[in-house]
Chain A
Amino acid sequence: MDETLAIELRGISKAFGPVQANKDISIQVKRGTIHGIIGENGAGKSTLMSILYGFYRADSGEVFIGGKKTEIPDSQAAIDAGIGMVFQHFKLVENFTVLENVILGAEDGRLLKPSLAKARKLLKKLADDYEMDVDPDAIIEDLGVGQQQRVEILKALYREADILILDEPTGVLTPAEADHLFRILKGLRDEGKTIILITHKLREIMEITDTVSVMRRGEMTATVKTAETSPEQLAELMVGRKVLLRVDKTPATPGAVVLEVENLRVVDDRNVERLRGIDLTIRAGEVLGIAGVSGNGQSELLEILGGYAKGTGVIRVNGQQIDITGSASDARTRRARGIAHVPEDRQREGLIMDYRAWENIGFGYHDDPKFNSGLLMHNSALKTDCVDKMERFDVRPPDPNLAAKNFSGGNQQKIVLAREIERNPDLLLIGQPTRGVDIGAIEFIHQQIVALRDQGKAILLVSVELDEIMALSDRIAVMFDGRIMGERLPSETNQGELGLLMAGITEDAA
């Protein structure tokens, strides 16, 4: 029995149907350290943590907590064992106060008052110790994302968690908020808490962890001390081959203006103005990157350009104004104008997950006479087209009869890209091109975007990954709260400056 180990897993295996999500995984996490778990999407990180938190039961293997063999049949057992989890998607009651959320499910008795008082005291102490200041009486929905995340951490600490698991915690944060979170985590570690950080971002691993374990295809490929490794080595361990982390591209040679947007405004169903007067221009042969924390209007921008949100303002494509309010404003007419769209959420919008690959390859272009005779679909034409595109975009497996949901994230994205790029559009809208995509495929997708630009197409790139924006864009516009805070050239800016803009801070205010 090793008392210095917070968690030890021995030989954990878990299969979902034919998919072996975790294969004989053994890992030791030392008490009082920050332990990173890195791996591509689908490598099995989340499955492993779900087993640890009692959401899934392992098919085989043992869990030791604090040196004691522990059974974790459900999340209550995990909480009892001192494990707290902060999920990627917060599990907070939006219309409760911070205090109410913190005690939810951990009330001491039938009356709330004593628990609330106790929680208030604890919150005060934690705020002082770790700069975790959150107004205990604020309503959750009024709080920013970073603050909501702090509430999740407070919830775990209120339940006396010694081991804190964070699943992709920085996905929704600005760089400044992420730094703040890391300071909190370091403080907690120094107090003797153990922290497991799940991420796919190499930079975070290098910045904050003490030890890092790499997962690939359900297996634990290595556990190394962070100080003794490099991002290149980790990337190679994740993918299983050498990876180009940078994008090779020549300077842009912008041509004629393709897209002009003036004073674009979108009001959503809840009557909230999501776009508050956007102006932008994209020329042929350049990539305009839109940086910003998600939820600041980028989705609405893509939706209205793609034809399925309504708004006011002017959009001109190749000098011709397009209707954005009337009944003729839909995605079909946008495509006819030469706009192709790789949507942010490929599983919700870009693909029909239950459709086979060949059915998806014509999705959105199913009106094309190539694919139908007016009444009947030309299924064989779709299949031929699909085989062809799968080969050129290296979709694996190259099986047109496989349902979209059975491809990996990267290959799903390649199907969407193949469909949109091969239509030879004048303007490509592309949202989160590499979200949930494995590193190997990221390289390929980035090359395709640059190649399309070099063919003289205009590209609007929206991504929450600042690295991606910096690597691909010829110009960067930063969005905050439905407005464009400023435009920068990638060569003349840095992550710090962009981070401030993403938080809504301009030079004038600073």
Chain B
Amino acid sequence: MNDAMPKWADIVLIPLINLALALFVSGLVVALIGKNPFEALYILVNGSVGSAYGWGYTLFYATNFIFTGLSVAVAFHARLFNIGGEGQAALGGLGVALVALSIDWPHWALALPAAVIGGMIFGALWAAVPAYLQVRRGSHIVITTIMFNYIAAALMVYLLANVLKVPGSASPETARFIEGARLPNAADILPWVGFSRSTPLNVSFLVAVLACIGVYFLIWRTRLGYEIRAFGHSEPAALYAGISPVRITMLAMLISGGLSGLMAINAVMGEAERLVLDPVQGAGFVGIAVALMGRSHPLGVFIAALLFGALYQGGAELTFEMNGMTREMILVIQALVILFTGALDNMVRSPVERMFLSRRRQPEAPLPTTPLQPGGHPDDAKIEP
């Protein structure tokens, strides 16, 4: 709880200033390679939110980032840094694929809940091992979750190349899911908006929105959330209150891993409709930036995920439309956004806080300090120039 400034400034104004700074520096970089930054910005914005096509991709990417962002956010609340979203989402993909391929699903509405459970369980189990190693063996979760990303990648290659591959096929991927295990996309649900048949946006977006609401309730309304936050704020206090660090670490990581695993609903069941190599495509890492920028609040995560979705889609457009804008340039821009919104957050925060504080003091000054205002200091008037 920050009392220095109003809440809207904390969750809206500061991210916007950060974003503006990031775009400004990005513009400088674009100008440096001899391109027109304004044209680049136009393509970036227009490509991401200027058409139904753009929105389709922007929201599709955002769906991935919401899941991984929530995953990181839940762990953050317990002061655990889960960098393993990448591996947990990949394993979630395995869970989703196994569910989708297991039986002859009559309808997606039945397959989806089963896949949700499958994805969550596999993601959660992949997070459970590092969590267990931390609580029982003291192995730091940052290290182990990173290592588990690599193990997950290797495991997926092995499984897809040797076990799950369609016999006779050369490509390391599973068979395409049957009709009843494919999720309807935005063109099916909202035909009048004008999404194309090929849009990857699908019902998983709604699952992501539900996940935001669920995480909000978990963190701020449930007893478990109360204990997770208490543990995250102060471990000695948690011990004093009889909150078991082992239990909270395990549960927070299971939930976190489960949320990462959910991402596979979108990428595997919604888009590819089969399990391919690396269905996650870096979304696990973007989730860290999303959680940081969203200040671990579900609403903030949602907004930050939209922004990063737009950056991904707009960035892809930029490489198409503008000669000389390489994939690496887009990475630079994305990195700048992460740098300014995450790492350099305090650079903007402190001056803005000071500004609000000085503005707050100003209106007090002209008021006479009467006995009715015991809190007012007679010297306040002197502070003002």
Partner of B237, one of A23, A335, A363: A363
- The 0/1 profile, CB within 8 Å of B marked 1, for residues 294-337 of chain A is 00000000000011100000000000000000000011111100
Interface of A is mostly: mixed
- Measured in the bound complex, the distance between the Cα atoms of B379 and A244 in whole Å is 31
Is there contact, CB below 8 Å, between B237 and A366? Answer: no
Is there contact, CB below 8 Å, between B3 and A403? Answer: yes
B side interface size, CB within 8 A: 30
- The 0/1 profile, CB within 8 Å of A marked 1, for residues 370-381 of chain B is 000000010110
Closest to A219 in B: B379
Across-interface contacts of A105 in B (CB, < 8 A): none
- Measured in the bound complex, the distance between the Cα atoms of B383 and A333 in whole Å is 53
Instruction: Give the Cβ gap from A347 to chain B, nearest Cβ, in Å.
Output: 9
B239 at the interface (CB under 8 A from A): yes
Across-interface contacts of B229 in A (CB, < 8 A): 352, 355
A side interface size, CB within 8 A: 42
- Measured in the bound complex, the distance between the Cα atoms of B3 and A406 in whole Å is 9
B327 at the interface (CB under 8 A from A): no
A40 at the interface (CB under 8 A from B): no
Across-interface contacts of A241 in B (CB, < 8 A): none
- Measured in the bound complex, the distance between the Cα atoms of B225 and A366 in whole Å is 12
Q: Which of B233, B237, B353 has the most CB of A within 10 A?
A: B237
B147 at the interface (CB under 8 A from A): no
A272 at the interface (CB under 8 A from B): no
Is there contact, CB below 8 Å, between A308 and B227? Answer: no
Across-interface contacts of A331 in B (CB, < 8 A): 239-242
Closest to A307 in B: B242
Partner of A376, one of B222, B241, B360, B377: B222
- Measured in the bound complex, the distance between the Cα atoms of B382 and A406 in whole Å is 25
Selected interface stretch from A12-20, A41-49, A183-191, A221-229? A12-20
- Measured in the bound complex, the distance between the Cα atoms of B302 and A84 in whole Å is 53
Is there contact, CB below 8 Å, between B357 and A348? Answer: no
- The 0/1 profile, CB within 8 Å of A marked 1, for residues 1-39 of chain B is 101100000000000000000000000000000000000
A354 at the interface (CB under 8 A from B): yes
- The 0/1 profile, CB within 8 Å of B marked 1, for residues 18-33 of chain A is 1010011000000000
- Measured in the bound complex, the distance between the Cα atoms of B3 and A349 in whole Å is 22
Given A23-B377, A24-B379, A308-B239, the answer on whether A355 and B233 have CB atoms closer than 8 Å is yes
Across-interface contacts of A403 in B (CB, < 8 A): 1, 3
Closest to A403 in B: B1
Partner of A349, one of B1, B217, B234, B379: B234
Partner of A364, one of B1, B221, B242: B242
Is there contact, CB below 8 Å, between B242 and A377? Answer: no
B236 at the interface (CB under 8 A from A): yes
Is there contact, CB below 8 Å, between B241 and A366? Answer: yes
Is there contact, CB below 8 Å, between A18 and B360? Answer: yes
Across-interface contacts of B51 in A (CB, < 8 A): none
Closest 9 CB pairs of A and B: A332-B242, A331-B242, A364-B241, A349-B240, A403-B1, A308-B239, A352-B233, A372-B223, A349-B236
A-side interface residues toward B, CB under 8 Å? Answer: 13, 15, 17-18, 20, 23-24, 59, 306-308, 330-335, 341, 343, 345, 348-356, 359, 363-364, 366-367, 372, 374-377, 379, 403, 406
Apart from A330-B244, A331-B242, what 16 extra A-B contacts exist at CB < 8 Å? A13-B382, A17-B353, A23-B377, A59-B383, A308-B242, A345-B236, A349-B236, A352-B230, A352-B233, A363-B241, A364-B240, A366-B223, A366-B226, A366-B241, A375-B223, A377-B221
